[in-house]
A and B are shown apart, each in its own frame.
Chain A
Amino acid sequence: MKNRIEIVGVGMTRAAEEWELGLLDIAIKAAGMALDDAKCDKVDAVVVANALGGALGDQQNLALHVASGLGLEQVETFSVSCDEASGGSAVRLASALIVSGMHETILVVGAEKTSDALPDMLETVRAAGLDSANETSFGFSPTIAAALGMQQYLSTYKLDKELFFHIAKVAHAHGATNRNAMFRWTLEPAQYNKSPIVATPLSVCDNAPPCDGAAALVVKKASAQTSRVCILGSANVAVEKGIVHPITRLSLPAATESAKAAWSESGCDRSAMSFFELHDSNAFLAILSIEAVGLAEPGEALMRAAAGDFHLKGPSPLWTFGGHKSRGHAPGAGGIYQIVEAVLGLRGDAGENQVLNADKAMVQCLGSFGAQAVTHVLG
Chain B
Amino acid sequence: MQIAKSWRRQPSNLRLEGTRCTACGHLAFPATIRCRQCGQAEFDVYQFTGFGEVVVSSIVYEAPRDFGEHVPYCAAVVRLEEGISIATMITDVDPEDVSPGMPVEMVTRRIAAQGDKGPILYAYKFAPLLENQ
Interface positions of A (Cβ within 8 A of B): 120-121, 123-124, 127, 133-141, 143-145, 147-148, 151-152, 155, 196-202, 240, 242-244, 247-248
Interface residues of B in 75-127 (CB under 8 A from A): 75-77, 79, 85-89, 100, 111-112, 121, 123
B22 to chain A, nearest CB (A): 22
Q: Which of A143, A151, A196 has the largest count of B CB atoms less than 10 A from its CB?
A: A151
Cα of A133 to Cα of B31 in the assembled complex, Å: 12
Q: Is the interface of A mostly helix, strand, loop or mixed?
A: helix
Having A134-B86, A243-B87, one finds 11 other A-B pairs with CB under 8 Å, namely: A121-B65, A127-B64, A139-B73, A140-B75, A141-B64, A144-B75, A148-B75, A151-B57, A152-B55, A155-B56, A200-B61
Whether the Cβ atoms of A124 and B65 lie closer than 8 Å is yes
Interface residues of B in 33-63 (CB under 8 A from A): 36, 55-63
Report, nearest first, the 6 A-B pairs whose CB atoms are least far apart: A139-B67, A120-B65, A147-B58, A244-B85, A199-B60, A152-B56
Whether the Cβ atoms of B77 and A155 lie closer than 8 Å is no
Whether the Cβ atoms of A134 and B30 lie closer than 8 Å is yes
Cα of A197 to Cα of B72 in the assembled complex, Å: 11
Whether the Cβ atoms of B87 and A244 lie closer than 8 Å is yes
Chain B residues, CB < 8 A from A152: 55-56, 77
Whether the Cβ atoms of A138 and B123 lie closer than 8 Å is yes
Cα of A152 to Cα of B77 in the assembled complex, Å: 10
Measured CB to CB, the nearest residue on chain B to A151 is B56
Chain B residues, CB < 8 A from A143: 62
Q: Is the interface of B mostly helix, strand, loop or mixed?
A: strand
Cα of A141 to Cα of B63 in the assembled complex, Å: 9
Whether the Cβ atoms of B89 and A138 lie closer than 8 Å is yes
Cα of A199 to Cα of B59 in the assembled complex, Å: 5
Whether the Cβ atoms of B55 and A138 lie closer than 8 Å is no
Whether the Cβ atoms of A138 and B100 lie closer than 8 Å is no
| The one of B58, B64, B123 that contacts A148, using a Cβ cutoff of 8 Å | B58
Whether the Cβ atoms of A197 and B9 lie closer than 8 Å is no
The contact sample of 15 A-B pairs, CB cut-off 8 A, is A120-B63, A123-B64, A137-B123, A138-B123, A143-B62, A148-B56, A148-B75, A151-B56, A151-B57, A152-B55, A198-B60, A199-B61, A243-B87, A248-B56, A248-B77
Measured CB to CB, the nearest residue on chain B to A245 is B85
A124 touching B87 in the complex, CB below 8 Å, given contacts A148-B57, A148-B77: no
| The one of B9, B56, B59, B66 that contacts A247, using a Cβ cutoff of 8 Å | B56
A199 touching B65 in the complex, CB below 8 Å, given contacts A139-B70, A248-B55: no
Chain B residues, CB < 8 A from A201: 58
Measured CB to CB, the nearest residue on chain B to A136 is B64
Whether the Cβ atoms of A144 and B60 lie closer than 8 Å is yes
Cα of A198 to Cα of B60 in the assembled complex, Å: 6
B86 to chain A, nearest CB (A): 7
